[in-house]
Structure 1
Amino acid sequence: MNLEKRDIIIKEIQYWRKSRLLPEQYCDFLTNLYDDEDANKDNNPISLRNLQQGSIKIWLFSFGIISLIFLISLYFSVFPWPLQLATALSVLIICYGYSAVYKDRNNVISLILAGLGSVLTLGFGLWLIDLHDLDPQLWRPILIGCCGLLWCILGFLLRIGLLQYCGFAFWALLYAGFFGGRSPEASIFELEFLWLPLCVLMVWLCWLLHHKVRGVASVYFAVGVSLWIMPELDALLLRQDYPQWISLMLILKIAAGLALLFGFRKKWITWVAT
C-alpha cells in the first residue's frame, strides 16, 4: 500500500480511538492490519525485534532503570523518612504517568505500568508501616482506604476496568473489617442487610450511568455481582462459629444469581456493552 495512504488511514484510526467512535479492540485490529514493521517499531520500542536492532541508547537506558530499581530496593530502609516518601511518590508518579502516556500508543505497556504502580503503592505502604513501627491496626486500614480511592480514580481516568474493580474490592474489604470489628457476632440476616443494599446500589448505578459515562457500567455491574455473595463470604472467611449450612446457602445464592443473570441477560448485557 502507498505509504501516504497508509499514514492517512492510521491517523484516521487514531482519531477514532481518541474520539471513542469504535471499540478499543477494533482500533487495535485495524492498526495492526494497516501498520507496518516500522510503525510498530515506533509504537513498541521494547519489543524483541527492536531490542535486537536497537541502538546502544536503548540498552544503556534499560541498564540505568534496572540499576536504579536495585539501588532503591537496597538502600530504601536507610533513607530518612522524607526521602523515603518522596522516592515512593516519584516512582508511583512515573509508573502511572507513563501508563497514561502509553494508553493510546500501546495498551499492553500501559496496563503493565499501571499494574506495577498499583503493586508498588501497596508494597511501599506496607514497607513504610513496618520500617517505622507504626500501629498496623490503624495504618493498614488507612493504607487500604487510600489504595482503594487511588485505584478507583486512576482506573476511571485511564479506563482500566480491572484497576477500578480492585479499588472497589479494597473498599469492600475495609467495609467488612470495620463492621467485623463493630459487630463480630452479627447474624447472617444482619450481614445480608449490610451487603445486599450495596449490591442493589451498584447495579442501579450501572443502569443509570451506562449511557452517560463510558467505562464504568461494566465495572459497577461486576462489583454488584460480587457483592451478591459477600454476606456468605463474610460469614465464612471473616467471622467465627458460623454453622455449616452457610456453605449450602452460598451455593443456593450463586444458583439464584445465575438464574437472575440469565433471566435479565438482554438488559444487563446492553448496559455492560454500551
Structure 2
Amino acid sequence: MNTEKRETILREIQYWRRSKLLPEQYCDFLTNLYDEEGRERGGNPISLRNLEQGSIKVWLFGFGVISLILLIGFYFSVFPWGLQIATAISILVVCYGYAGVLRVREPNFSLILAGIGSLLTLLFGIWMIGLHDLTAPYWKPSLLALCGLLWCILGFGMRIGLLQFAGYGALCLLYAEFFGSVRPDAGIAELQLLWLPLCVLMIWLSWLLHHRISGIAGVYFAVGAALWLMPELDSLVLRGTEPDWLPTLLIAKIGIGLALLFGFRKKWMVWVTT
C-alpha cells in the first residue's frame, strides 16, 4: 500500500476514534495494522496514548525537556549571538520536526507542537531584538515577514491549515503596516481598494487550486473571507479612525458576506472540502 493511501486510512481511523464510531481497542488495532512505518520504528514513544497510559519513561522525558527549556530560558541572555541563534533554531527544528512526524498518527499532539514552535519563533525573535537593542525600524517587520513565510511554508508542507492561516495573517499585518506608513490618512474608500482585490484574489486561487493541490483551498478561502472585512478593521483597529457610520458599514458587509456565502454554498463548499 502506498504512503498516500495509508495516511488517508489512518486519518479515517483517527476520525472514527474521535467520533466514537468504533471502540478504542478496535481503533488501536487498525492503527497498528496500517501503520507500517510505526511498526518498523518500534512505535513512537512520545504520544498522547503513552501519556494517558502513564508511561514512566515518557513522563521522565517530559520532565527533562521542561527542565532543559527552563535552563535555556534563564541563561539565554548570556549566550553569545551565534549560540542564541543555534539554540533557537534547534528548539524550533525539534518542535516542527515532531509535528510533521506525528501529523497522521497523533494529529492533536502535532497541532500542539506546531503551535508551540510558532509561538517560540515569534518570542525568540522579539527577545533577541530586545536583548541586542536592535532599534532600526526594519527589524520587527523583517521578523514578521520571516514568521509569516515560515508558517505558510510549514503549514503547507505539513497540511496544517491553522498554521498557514496564521502565516497569511502575519503577511497581511505587514501589508497593512506598510501602506499605513505610506498612506496614514487613507479614507475608507481607499482602504476598500487596498484590501478587496486581495480578497477576490484569494477566493479565486481557492477555486483555481482546489482540484490541483489538496489541503490549500480551504485556507485560501478562509483568508479571502477574512480580507472581506479588513478595510473596516484596518480603519478601526490599525489606524484608530472611527467614523460614526463605520459600525453600520461593518454590519452591512457582514450581512452581504453571509448572503453571498449562502447563495454560493454549493460551490465554495466543494472547494473547501476537496
1:218 aligns with 2:218: yes
TM-score for both structures, normalised by structure 2 = 0.86
Taking the aligned partners of 2:108 and 2:212, their CA distance within structure 1 comes to 27
Deviations for 1:152-195, whole angstroms, at most 9, x for unmatched residues? 00000000000000000000100001001100111111100000
Report what 2:28 is aligned to.
35
**TM-score, normalised by the number of residues in structure 1:** 0.86
SS of 2:82's partner is helix
**Any idea what SS the aligned residue of 2:138 has?**
helix
Task: Count matched residues.
Answer: 259
Aligned equivalent of 2:169:
169
Is the contact made by 2:47 and 2:106 (CA closer than 8 Å) also made in structure 1? no
Query: What letter is aligned with 1:89?
Result: I
Task: From the superposition, tell whether residues 242 and 92 of structure 1 become closer, same or farther in structure 2 (CA, over 3 Å).
Answer: same
In structure 2, list runs of 5 or more residues that go unmatched: 18-23, 33-37
Structure 1 range deviating more: 39-48 or 144-153: 39-48
Q: Does 1:124 align with 2:124?
A: yes
- Distance in 2 (CA, whole Å) between partners of 1:216 and 1:29 is 20
Q: CA deviation at 1:247?
A: 1.3
SS in 2 for 1:213: coil
Q: Is the 8 A contact 1:43 1:106 kept in 2?
A: no
How many angstroms apart in 1 are the aligned matches of 2:31 and 2:199?
49
CA–CA distance in 1 between the matches of 2:222 and 2:83?
Answer: 39
Query: Is this contact kept in 2: 1:203–1:224, CA < 8 A?
Result: yes
Q: Give runs of aligned pairs for residues 90-239 of structure 1, distance below 5 A.
A: 90-135=90-135, 137-239=137-239
Tell me by how many angstroms 1:105 deviates.
2.1
Q: Distance in 2 between matches of 1:59 and 1:253?
A: 50
Looking at structure 2, the residues matched to 145 and 97 of structure 1 have their Cα atoms a distance apart, in angstroms, of 21
Matches of 1:69 and 1:80, distance apart in 2: 17
CA positional deviation for 1:15: 6.1
Distance 1:145 1:50 in 2: 36
**Matched residues in 2 for 1:269 and 1:38: separation?**
30
- CA distance in 1 between partners of 2:121 and 2:241 (Å): 35
CA distance in 2, matches of 1:252, 1:44: 52
